[in-house]
Amino acid sequence: MVCGKFYDKYIIVYRFGNKGAMISESLFGVLTKLSVENADVPEQLAIFLGRIGFSGNLPQKVNDLLQIMPQGELNFGSASYEITERCNYRCKHCVLGERKVTKELSVTEKKSLIKTIRVAGCIYLQITGGEPLLASGFEDAYYFAYSLGMLVKIQTNGSLLSVRKNQKILENWPPYKIVVSIYGGTKESYQNLTRTPNSFSLFLEAMEWLKKSGISVRANIIVTRYNEHEVGRMVNMAEEAGFEYFAYTKLTPTFEGNPAPMNLMARDCATLEEIDAYNPKSIPRTTKDSRYGGCLAGKAFFHVTHKGEVMICQSARDKRSDLLKEGISGLARLSKLSEKLLTRPSKCNTCEYKEECPTCPPNLEFFRKADNVPSYICKKLGL
């Protein structure tokens, strides 16, 4: 298990799944002392872990049970890292668009980024792409993050999980979670979107391996006009595998501002109502002041691109700095930048929809750049 500071809280988390709890600073201090002394696991700790869902035989020594995470230089808790823009799919809806793949960072540079992310205080790390399993030196970079005690989530299209080498990596060092995308319930719909021959069969092989692996999995069901008639089938795929899932119906422009992916969104109103019934209700944000309420981008988390550029989140891509060159000092400036970027435009402060608006300023600007602002992003500007 991993124990450490997460933003302004302290947590203890089972590193291979959704089990954990917030703990007090004083309890964290007690656990740190037990770790320093390499004491025996006290009975009270065993009882506490049982209450939060940890079962099985416990080791005798605290250090064989807990990895105490050193406090970071900054107060961040999590980061996402776009480790590569390479991908073996050519999905029509991809936010990266029709990209020309640039030279990747070296493994040494990738490790340097991960070390800086950890030094900033991050316990959680989401590795994305492109397709992250295609990244050069993925095994070395992933193991380095794992060895630092980070709770690693891998976001993948799943196709390369059918490769035995990749399976062995994840069997030897199981991630905190794998997030796998479902692009269709049949070969036709799936490959119409991915534009990649044999991709559906590789995806199905990966699903079978994931079911047997014991790794915690979340399925992102991507609903488009190609598969809107198959929502039930895709949900069944996730449920029968025992995976948590969420169905996404809203597509976005590419990062370069091309609105073309939005033309692929599902149009069937009955399908969209059906999806609303599947998905858990989101928690509304409070928006009573001029700053977008509740968002901790640039304060608790941040995003790093495949080039080593850092920004408060994926949507705010116009404001970035070079993390390889600037290191921890570049991250220290994010909090002030966040205050600026998340302050609503003055027009938003007088809008009658302000209290219910779910859209942050960077996301609004993202759609405005594409000259395509749907009503679910802004009811005033929406098409």
Mind listing the pLDDT tens digit for each residue in 311-324? Answer: 999 989 888 999 99
Is 342 within a domain?
Answer: no
The answer as to whether 285 is a domain residue is no
Tally of domains within the chain? 2
Query: Looking at the domain assignment, is residue 28 inside a domain?
Result: yes
Q: Quick: pLDDT tens for 181-235.
A: 999 999 999 999 999 999 999 999 999 999 999 999 999 999 999 999 999 999 9
Choosing from 278, 311, 328, the residue where a domain stops is 278
144 inside domain = yes
pLDDT < 50: residue spans in the chain: 282-291
DSSP assignments along 248-268, one per residue: E------TTS--GGGGGB---
What's the CA gap between 318 and 325, in Å, rounded? 18
Are 50 and 99 in a shared domain?
Answer: no
Give a yes or no: residue 113 inside a domain: yes
Q: Is 198 contained in some domain?
A: yes
**Both tokens assigned to 41:** 């696991």
* 114 and 251 co-located in one domain: yes
| 143 and 218 both lie in a single domain | yes
Sheet (strand 20-23) strand order: 20-23, 9-13, 2-6, 67-68
At 11 the three-state DSSP class reads strand
Instruction: Quote the CA–CA distance of 56 and 58 in Å, as a whole number.
Output: 6
Instruction: Give a yes or no: residue 63 inside a domain.
Output: yes
CATH number of the domain that 86 lies in? 3.20.20.70
> How do strand 124-128 and strand 78-82 relate by DSSP bridges?
parallel
Q: Are residues 99 and 64 in the same domain?
A: no
- Same structural domain, 138 and 20: no
Q: 88 and 7, same structural domain?
A: no
Residue 95 placed within a domain: yes
Report the sign of the C-alpha dihedral through residues 223, 358, 128, 257, in that order: positive
Contact at 8 Å (CB) between 105 and 320? no
Decide which of 68, 99, 126 is a domain's last residue.
68
Q: Return the closest-CA partner of residue 201 out of 181, 186, 211.
A: 186
Range of the domain at 21: 2-68
Cβ contact 41:65 at 8 Å: yes
Whether residue 83 contacts residue 141, with contact meaning beta carbons closer than 8 Å, is answered with yes
Nearest-angstrom CA–CA distance, 77 and 107 = 24
Q: Do 160 and 211 reside in the same domain of the chain?
A: yes
Domain closes at, from 278, 304, 325: 278
pLDDT computed for residue 290 by the predictor: 47
Do residues 208 and 227 both lie within one domain? yes
Do 105 and 173 share a domain, yes or no? Answer: yes
Looking at residue 350, what is its pLDDT?
A: 85
Residue 165 CB contacts under 8 Å (≥ 6 apart), including other chains: none
Please report the pLDDT score of residue 182 as a whole number.
97
Q: What are the contacts of 196-205 at 24+ separation with CB within 8 A?
A: 196/88, 196/89, 196/90, 196/159, 199/88, 199/89, 199/157, 199/159, 202/158, 202/159, 202/160, 202/162, 203/157, 203/158, 203/159, 205/161, 205/162
| Rg, Å, the chain Cα set | 22
Whether residues 213 and 239 fall in one domain:
yes
Whether residue 260 sits in one domain with residue 151: yes
Q: Are residues 244 and 124 in the same domain?
A: yes
